[in-house]
Chain A
């Protein structure tokens, strides 16, 4: 282990809670083969801000979340989370692409909820929530379980602690997945089309849980969603994406009802017609 690695680790833990940027994308380029998904993308998110990313499929929204969660690597540019660089690390006085160890230390601050829930089917609900706090953070088991039960209560599933995930409805599974992400006490929560795989009558329960989190915590939240009504309620800001770039951004009341760009208008019309 080199000194610079340790330094990185130290700054990571003490990232200022009130620095004015939680996330910064700096000319980020992401390609899949010859397909350019993100083109020199710049944007920032403030701590505690709730930002919704909208746009047609293939516009790069989900890729942004996956880059932040370090499930994909960027090709060019830099990503910062708090005052730490996520995509790069310092070696001597140069910035080099982050290695696995660096990624591990930065990604602790970020949690993600997936479209397909991705609960661990071999573990009961409670252990889905305690596994990572115990084994990634070193939280004592009793404390992890107490906190897991609090979170289950928050998502309205107290009585499901000892159930297996496959005994739950999709909506219940997604609420467990949200609680599981919160159990790691992230600064940033990424929500990737979390209601898209649900039966329509189960969507409201999940959205209500997210509203509670948005109003009751200071977690920075990034949503990718096609639920425009929900986006309007919950977001401080909406970013409209197309072809890997931001077409337009603004407060939801403005952007979702009276957008400036024809591309945004066209997209919103298509979303409404599909319903």
Chain B
């Protein structure tokens, strides 16, 4: 038995690419949720109503301190029993990834918001700008460009963590590799290819993020 069969590798490639599409779906939808929800959490953390900011703080700490895998199992197996909510496995995956990473991105946004000089708030106050307008036209447009590299890094981390969704039956890239391997009882090609595909996508992305970092710092 040869160590590496090119024919087999070619043969399973389409199957792996189908898995890659699912990986993409999970990453894109998960990160959209993480970026949006993270901002909401960051803003709620600053709420002047103490209960709101404390509850949000508790939620963030809780989610950050428990493993993503446990959270996925919880949504997948316990939600249907306790709350009667049954969701598809990809939906659960997106939800789990999105909420988990939202707690990280909320910290990123918080740092970005705090980096906006106090003088900007004071100038906005002196001009009587309505509070919501201060956020949308003064603070966030300055805070968000600064945190784009950090958000990009979380996007890449999330991409590399999507194989966790395998545990709740999402047939993403590694899941497809596992299937292909079990059918032919050859695992070298599928897992090597899966790893290469991850590398091929995440390395250039991290180069892009680093370039973005440099541009943000120059401004």
Contact = CB atoms under 8 A, between A and B. Distances in A.
Interface of A: 69-71, 104, 107-108, 110-112, 114, 116, 118-123, 131-132, 135-137, 180-181, 184
A135 B128 CA distance: 9
Contacts of A136: 127-130, 133
B142 interface: yes
Contacts of A114: 119, 122-123, 126
Contacts of B137: 120, 123, 131, 135
A95 B123 CA distance: 28
A135 B138 CA distance: 12
Given A71-B126, A114-B119, A135-B130, 18 more contacts: A69-B122, A70-B125, A71-B125, A104-B128, A107-B126, A111-B127, A118-B117, A118-B123, A120-B120, A120-B123, A121-B142, A122-B141, A131-B127, A135-B129, A135-B137, A136-B127, A180-B127, A184-B127
A188 B62 CA distance: 50
Interface in B124-160: 125-130, 133, 137-138, 141-142
Contacts of A184: 127-128
B119 A107 contact: no
27 contacts: A69-B125, A70-B125, A71-B125, A104-B128, A107-B128, A111-B126, A111-B127, A112-B126, A116-B119, A118-B117, A118-B120, A119-B123, A120-B120, A120-B138, A122-B138, A122-B141, A122-B142, A131-B127, A131-B129, A131-B137, A132-B127, A135-B130, A135-B133, A135-B137, A136-B129, A136-B133, A184-B127
Please tell me the size bucket of the interface on B.
10 to 19
Nearest to A132: B127
Interface string B14-25: 000000000000
Contacts of A135: 129-130, 133, 137
Nearest to B141: A122
A104 B130 CA distance: 9
B125 A107 contact: yes
Nearest to B126: A112
